[in-house]
C-alpha cells in the first residue's frame, strides 16, 4: 500500500516542479517588456536575487501544488486503485487549471503595469464602481484583449506538453528492507518528510512562519532598484496583498469632500482649491529666532521611547538615566503628555519626515512619494536655512523603501546601520544593537563634519527596544540589583519582565552615551528627543505590585517629547504640558529661523499656547487624553488618578478629518506632488 503512495507522491513532486519555472518565465517576460534599462550589464546580482527571492516568495501559492494532489490523490489512491489510476489525468487537469490562473493573473498584471506603472495595488479596488463597458472597450481596443484571450489555447497546449513530459519521467523504485522495523521507519520518515517539505517551501526555505518572505525583506540590493523590486513579486502574491487589505476610506472620497475638510485647517482665508497643491496653503511666517542658530540639530527618535518610565511612579526602575541627562537639564523644555503621529513606527517616521500625517496610507510605499517636492517636508525646509540632512537608521532602510522615501523628503544622506556597522555587527531581527549603531553613527558624524558643511541636521532612529527581547543584556552591563535596587521584588524576580525592561535600559544607555559624545563635540546643538510611539506595558507590569492595574490611555500612547539647547529654559513652551510630533517642525523653525522666514506646517509651534492636539488616532487636551477608537477618555490633571476614565463624545472630528483628507487627496493625485514651491 505504501509503495503506491510512494510512487504517487513522486508524481506530485514532478507536477510541483513545473510552476516555479512557469512563474520565473513570466517574471522574465515582465522584465524583458518593461525593463527601464537599455542593458542589464552590471545588473547580474540584482537579477539573480530577484529571481531567487521571487522563487521562494512564490511558494506562498506554488507549495500547494504539491500538498493538494498529495492530500486529494496520493493518500486516497493508496487505498483505492481506481482513484489511483486516474491520478495523472487529474494532476494534468488540475495543473492546467492552475496554469490558466497564472496566465490570467500575469496578463492582468501586464495590463495594470502598462496603465499605472505599478504591479497590482489598492487602486484595483476602485475598479469595482467603474463603468464595465468602458473597461471592456479599453481591454479589447487598447490592451489587445483579443490576442490575450486567443493566446490561452496555445499556452495551455504548451503547458500540457510540459506537464505530461514531467509526469512521464521515471520514478525512483520503492526501497525494500529486510527488517519490518526499518520498513515502517522509512515509511514514517517519508510521510513526515512530505509534511516538512511542504512547510519548508511554503515558508520560503525556512520552518519559521515569521521568517517568510515579504516585501520588507526583499534583498537590499534588489529593493534599491524600484523596477526589480516589483518584478520580484509573483502575480498571485501581489493580488493576495491587495485582497488582504481593505481599501482605505481616503480613496473613496471626492475631491470636493477633501478640499472642504482641508479648508477648515488652513491658516488664512484663501480657498485651498486655488493652490496647485493643498499643502501650499499651510504656509507660515517665523517671528524671529529665539536661540542662536545651532550648527547641529539632532532629532532622536527612540524605538518605543515612552513617557511612562519618566513618571514618578516608575522612578524606582531607573530605566531612563540616558534620557534624563536632557529631561532634567535646566535648558530643556518638555511636555508631560504627547501624541505620536502614528500608533506604529513607520507612520510616525513618515509623518515626522514629510510634515503631513501618513494617516495609515503607507506613503513610504507609494512611488509617487519617492520623487516629490512636498513643501512640508522637514529636511527640505531646513535646506533653506543652510542645513544638510542625514537620516540614520539602526536597521535596513530598504525595509519600507526609506532609501527612496527619505531622499524625496530632502535628506542628503541616508545611512543604514546594517551596512555601515558591517556584516558581523550584532543584530536583532529589526536592526543592529543600539549601542553598536549609535557609537558608529557618532563616529561617522564627527569624522564627516567638514564634508557635511557648517550646519547639519541628523535624524536618528533606533531599533533595539522591540520584541522578541533576546539581547544578551548581562554582556552589556545589565544587572537587576545594580540598575533597579529599589524596584519591587516581584518585578526583579520575573525573568520575562527583566528581559523587557532590561532591553529598554540597554537602549536608553546607548542613547545617553551618544548624546554625551555629540554634546561634547557640539555644545551649541539643538536636541529633540521623542519616541516613535509608546507601548502598552499592561502585559508586562499590570499584575505586579508596582502597578497592579492596566495602563491608562496616556501611558499606552504618549512618547517622550523634549527640546534641549543651552539658550533654552523650562519656560520656553508657553506653559504647554501637551504637544505632538507634528509640533516639532514648527517649533524648530520658530526657535532658529529669522523673522519673516516662510515655512510650511500643519500645526503651530510649542512656543505658542496650545489648546489641544489631534492626530488621525488620538486627541489630547490639557485635561484629557482620548483616542478615536471609542468614546472613553482619560481625565488629566490634579484630582485625577491613573485609573480614572470618563465617557463623552469624540471632539475635534472635523480637524482630524482635515488632516487625513489632505493626505488622501495627495495620494489620489500623485501628479500634483511634482509641483515645486514657487518662492
Confidence check: pLDDT of 43 > 60 = yes
DSSP bridge pairs for 300: 460, 529
Q: How far is CA 551 from CA 359, 600, 634, in A?
A: 25, 36, 11
The model's pLDDT over 522-568, given as tens digits with 9 standing for 90+, comes to 999 999 999 999 999 988 999 999 999 989 999 999 999 999 999 99
- What per-residue confidence (pLDDT) applies to 431? 95
The full 3-state SS of 225-282, as one line of letters, equals: CHHHHHHCCCHHHHHHHHHHCCCCHHHHCCHHHHHHHHHCCCCCCCCHHHCCCHHHHH
Confidence check: pLDDT of 570 > 80 = yes
Instruction: Classify strands 526-531 and 456-461 as parallel, antiparallel or unpaired.
Output: unpaired
Give dist(CA 679, CA 677) in Å, integer: 6
Domain-wise residue ranges, the chain: 2-244, 288-484+503-541+555-613
Percent of the chain beyond pLDDT 70? 97
Give dist(CA 499, CA 505) in Å, integer: 10
Closest CA to 345 of 330, 329, 358: 358
The model's pLDDT over 627-670, given as tens digits with 9 standing for 90+, comes to 998 888 999 988 899 999 999 999 999 999 999 999 999 998 98
Q: Which residues have a Cβ under 8 Å from the Cβ of 265 and sit 6 or more positions away?
A: 282, 602, 655, 658, 659, 662
Give dist(CA 597, CA 588) in Å, integer: 12
User: How confident is residue 676, by pLDDT bands cut at 50, 70 and 90?
Assistant: confident
Confidence check: pLDDT of 36 > 90 = no
pTM of the model: 0.81
- What per-residue confidence (pLDDT) applies to 32? 93
- The angle formed by the CA atoms of residues 542, 546 and 552, to the nearest 5 degrees, is 45
Average pLDDT over residues 565-575: 97
The model's pLDDT over 181-239, given as tens digits with 9 standing for 90+, comes to 988 898 899 999 999 999 999 999 998 887 889 888 889 889 888 789 899 999 999 99
- SS percent in the chain: helix, strand, coil, step 5: 55, 10, 35
Instruction: Classify strands 561-564 and 526-531 as parallel, antiparallel or unpaired.
Output: antiparallel
The model's pLDDT over 131-180, given as tens digits with 9 standing for 90+, comes to 566 667 778 877 888 999 999 999 999 999 999 999 999 999 988 888 88
- What per-residue confidence (pLDDT) applies to 115? 78
Classify residue 562 as exposed, middle or buried by CB count within 10 Å of its CB (0-12, 13-18, 19+). Answer: buried
- What per-residue confidence (pLDDT) applies to 679? 47
Average pLDDT over residues 14-19: 95
- What per-residue confidence (pLDDT) applies to 596? 97
DSSP bridge pairs for 530: 301, 561
Give dist(CA 336, CA 624) in Å, integer: 12
DSSP 619: E
The model's pLDDT over 469-526, given as tens digits with 9 standing for 90+, comes to 999 999 999 999 999 999 999 999 999 999 999 999 999 999 999 999 999 999 999 9
Confidence check: pLDDT of 594 > 50 = yes
Percent of the chain beyond pLDDT 90? 76
- The angle formed by the CA atoms of residues 508, 514 and 517, to the nearest 5 degrees, is 145
Fold held by 288-484+503-541+555-613: Alkaline Phosphatase, subunit A (3.40.720)
Give dist(CA 501, CA 497) in Å, integer: 6
Average pLDDT over residues 37-49: 92
| Average pLDDT over the chain, rounded to an integer | 93
- What per-residue confidence (pLDDT) applies to 678? 67
Cell of 250: 481616503
Cell of 84: 489511483
Q: Is 618 helix (H, G, I), strand (E, B) or coil?
A: strand
Sign of CA pseudo-dihedral 425, 426, 431, 433? negative
Confidence check: pLDDT of 311 > 70 = yes
Contact 655, 614 (CB under 8 A): yes
User: How confident is residue 247, by pLDDT bands cut at 50, 70 and 90?
Assistant: low
The model's pLDDT over 119-144, given as tens digits with 9 standing for 90+, comes to 888 767 656 555 566 667 778 877 88
- What per-residue confidence (pLDDT) applies to 131? 53
Closest CA to 589 of 577, 574, 601, 571: 601
Closest CA to 360 of 249, 255, 258, 264: 249
Would you tell me how many other CB atoms lie within 10 Å of the CB of residue 622?
18
Confidence check: pLDDT of 248 > 70 = no
Give dist(CA 372, CA 369) in Å, integer: 6
Amino acid at each position: 500500500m505504501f509503495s503506491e503512495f510512494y510512487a504517487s507522491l513522486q508524481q506530485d513532486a514532478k507536477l510541483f516542479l513545473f510552476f516555479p519555472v512557469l512563474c520565473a518565465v513570466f517574471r522574465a517576460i515582465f522584465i524583458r517588456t518593461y525593463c527601464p534599462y537599455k542593458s542589464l550589464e552590471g545588473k547580474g546580482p540584482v537579477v539573480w536575487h530577484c529571481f531567487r527571492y521571487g522563487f521562494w516568495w512564490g511558494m506562498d501559492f506554488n507549495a500547494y501544488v504539491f500538498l493538494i494532489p498529495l492530500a486529494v490523490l496520493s493518500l486516497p489512491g493508496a487505498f483505492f486503485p481506481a482513484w489511483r489510476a486516474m491520478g495523472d489525468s487529474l494532476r494534468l487537469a488540475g495543473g492546467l487549471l492552475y496554469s490558466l490562473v497564472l496566465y490570467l493573473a500575469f496578463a492582468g498584471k501586464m495590463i495594470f503595469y502598462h496603465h499605472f506603472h505599478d504591479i497590482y495595488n489598492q487602486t484595483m479596488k476602485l475598479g469595482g464602481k467603474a463603468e464595465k463597458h468602458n473597461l471592456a472597450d479599453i481591454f479589447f481596443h487598447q490592451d489587445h484583449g483579443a490576442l490575450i484571450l486567443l493566446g490561452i489555447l496555445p499556452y495551455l497546449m504548451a503547458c500540457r506538453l510540459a506537464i505530461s513530459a514531467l509526469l512521464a519521467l521515471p520514478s525512483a523504485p520503492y526501497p525494500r528492507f529486510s527488517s519490518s522495523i526499518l520498513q515502517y521507519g522509512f515509511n514514517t520518515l517519508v510521510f513526515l518528510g512530505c509534511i516538512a517539505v511542504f512547510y519548508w517551501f511554503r515558508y520560503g526555505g525556512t520552518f519559521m512562519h515569521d521568517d517568510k518572505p515579504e516585501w520588507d525583506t526583499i534583498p537590499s540590493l534588489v529593493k534599491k532598484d524600484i523596477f526589480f523590486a516589483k518584478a520580484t513579486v509573483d502575480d498571485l502574491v501581489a493580488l493576495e496583498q491587495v485582497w488582504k487589505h481593505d481599501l482605505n476610506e481616503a480613496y473613496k472620497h471626492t475631491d470636493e469632500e477633501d478640499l472642504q475638510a482641508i479648508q477648515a485647517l488652513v491658516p488664512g482665508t484663501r480657498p485651498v482649491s486655488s493652490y496647485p497643491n493643498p499643502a501650499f496653503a499651510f504656509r507660515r511666517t517665523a517671528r524671529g529666532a529665539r536661540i542662536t542658530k545651532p550648527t547641529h540639530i539632532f532629532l532622536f527618535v527612540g524605538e518605543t521611547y515612552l513617557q511612562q518610565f519618566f513618571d514618578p511612579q516608575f522612578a524606582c526602575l531607573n530605566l531612563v538615566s540616558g534620557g534624563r541627562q536632557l529631561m532634567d537639564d535646566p535648558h530643556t523644555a518638555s511636555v508631560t503628555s504627547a501624541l505620536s503621529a502614528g500608533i506604529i513606527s513607520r507612520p510616525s517616521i513618515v509623518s515626522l519626515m514629510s510634515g503631513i500625517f501618513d494617516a495609515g496610507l503607507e506613503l513610504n510605499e507609494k512611488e509617487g512619494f519617492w520623487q516629490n517636492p512636498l513643501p512640508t517636508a522637514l529636511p527640505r525646509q531646513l535646506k533653506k536655512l543652510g542645513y544638510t540632512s542625514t537620516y540614520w537608521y539602526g536597521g535596513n532602510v530598504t525595509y519600507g523603501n526609506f532609501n527612496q522615501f527619505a531622499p524625496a523628503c530632502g535628506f542628503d544622506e541616508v545611512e543604514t546601520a546594517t551596512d555601515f556597522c558591517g556584516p558581523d555587527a550584532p543584530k536583532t531581527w529589526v536592526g543592529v544593537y543600539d549601542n553598536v549603531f549609535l557609537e558608529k553613527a557618532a563616529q561617522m558624524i564627527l569624522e564627516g563634519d567638514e564634508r557635511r558643511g557648517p550646519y547639519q541636521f541628523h535624524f536618528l532612529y533606533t531599533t533595539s527596544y522591540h520584541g522578541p527581547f533576546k539581547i544578551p543584556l548581562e554582556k552589556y552591563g545589565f544587572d537587576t540589583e545594580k540598575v533597579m535596587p529599589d524596584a519591587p521584588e516581584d518585578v526583579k524576580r520575573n525573568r520575562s519582565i527583566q528581559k523587557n525592561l532590561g532591553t529598554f535600559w540597554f537602549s536608553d544607555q546607548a542613547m545617553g552615551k551618544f548624546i554625551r559624545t555629540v554634546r561634547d563635540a557640539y555644545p551649541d546643538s539643538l536636541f529633540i528627543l521623542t519616541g516613535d510611539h509608546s507601548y502598552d506595558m499592561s502585559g508586562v507590569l499590570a499584575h505586579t505590585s508596582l502597578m497592579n492595574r492596566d495602563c491608562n490611555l496616556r501611558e499606552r500612547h504618549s512618547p517622550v517629547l523634549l527640546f534641549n539647547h543651552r539658550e533654552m529654559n523650562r519656560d520656553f513652551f508657553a506653559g504647554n504640558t501637551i504637544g505632538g510630533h507634528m509640533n516639532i517642525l514648527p517649533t524648530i523653525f520658530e526657535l532658529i529661523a529669522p523673522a519673516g522666514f516662510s515655512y510650511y506646517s500643519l500645526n503651530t509651534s510649542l512656543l505658542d499656547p496650545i489648546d489641544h492636539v489631534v492626530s488621525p488616532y488620538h486627541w489630547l487636551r490639557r485635561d484629557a487624553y482620548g483616542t478615536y477608537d471609542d468614546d472613553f477618555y482619560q481625565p488629566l490633571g490634579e484630582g485625577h488618578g491613573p485609573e480614572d476614565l470618563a465617557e463623552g463624545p469624540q471632539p475635534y472630528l472635523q480637524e482630524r478629518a482635515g488632516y487625513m483628507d489632505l493626505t488622501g487627496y495627495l495620494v489620489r493625485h500623485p501628479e500634483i506632488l511634482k509641483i515645486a514651491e514657487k518662492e
